Amino acid sequence: MPRPQRRFELMSWPEVSQAALRPGSTLIWPFGAVEQHGPHLPLATDAVFADRILDAVLSGLNDNDPIWRLPLQSLGFSPEHAGFHGTLSLSADLLLNLVESVGTQLASLGFRRLVLFNAHGGQIALLQTAARQLRSRSPSLAVLPCFLWSGVEGLDQWLSSSELQGGLHAGQAETSLMLSLHPELVGEIRPIDGIHCDGSPASPPTGWSLEGAAPCAWLTTDLSSSGVIGDCSAASAEIGDSLEQALISHWQQRFRSLLDSDWPPVTPVAGAPDGC
Ligand SMILES: [Zn+2]
């Protein structure tokens, strides 16, 4: 657990106002989801990951770094999983408004940076849109939307290439990480799935893809009858331990470089004479 002083909601109002005015003051807002994760993982899998990995990352930074975390946003945008019981999705509008409403208040306090630390793949694009919208309305606040698993190098040491490409949900990576963090929350049924309900392999039209350059906005029911898209039978706690360390180390480096930077640049006032 990070020191309590790292938690925005545990500070007093004078502490928050002092924190906001420190040079480079940075807030990390963890985002998860409450959505089906196959028959073996809890609905809050992404929320657990965002919360736990962020705490570990922050506890490895220097005590006097100007960085704090906001409370976990555990409900997210998950319409692709609506065909499975237990999924509770916010609307896109609601999530956009939430980020803008909270972000503008943080900007008015004087905070300089807000990282949207997201562990749910289905809301990457929406949080990027929310970040761009917030930044344009509060230019003094840098907004950095990121995805827990993106850009982490070396995952191919532990995950097969087919899982890295097609293990989109509740597969080897997520099941392994949960076996490392909370083995008591992982069930025994471990399907390999990612096929149509009639048993034929699910594949997008030629030239299109599930994700990436030409994605097809799939619904989980297009691909899977269990809710798993991938091979969770290949998961292990050992793989999960390695993934956990890789994620912590990656995000510690990213946050360190952000704290050492002077981002965001000071925005020139439109029409002012150019001082260069
Ligand atoms: Zn997930």
Domain boundaries, the chain: 12-259
Amino acid 198: pLDDT: 56
CA nearest to 113, candidates 174, 24, 51: 24
Residues 6+ apart with CB under 8 A from 50: 30, 31, 32, 72, 117, 118, 119, 148
Amino acid identity, position 207: G
Note the pTM of the prediction, 2 decimals.
0.93
Structure tokens of 3?
Answer: 């020191």
Q: Could you read off the pLDDT of 231-268 as tens digits, one per residue?
A: 999 999 999 999 999 999 999 999 999 999 999 998 66
Q: What percent of the chain has pLDDT over 90?
A: 82
Cα atoms in the 13 Å half-sphere on the side-chain side of 21 = 5
Asked if residue 117 lies in contact with residue 148, where contact means CB atoms within 8 angstroms, the answer is yes
Q: Return the DSSP state at 204.
A: P
Q: What separation in Å is there between the alpha carbon of 213 and the centre of ligand 1?
A: 21
What is the distance between the alpha carbons of residues 96 and 81, in angstroms, rounded to a whole number? 20
- Report the topology of domain 12-259: Rossmann fold (3.40.50)
Residues facing 142 on adjacent strands: 113
pLDDT tier for residue 4 given thresholds of 50, 70 and 90? low
Report CA(274)–ligand 1 centroid distance (Å): 48
pLDDT of 186 higher than 60: yes
Give the span between the Cα atoms of 216 and 232, in whole angstroms: 23
Amino acid at 199: G
Predicted confidence (pLDDT) at residue 199 exceeds the cutoff of 60: no
Tens digit of pLDDT for each residue in 134-178? 999 999 999 999 999 999 999 999 998 888 888 899 999 999 999
Q: How far is the CA of 273 from the centre of ligand 1 (A)?
A: 50
CA 244 / ligand 1 centre spacing (Å): 15
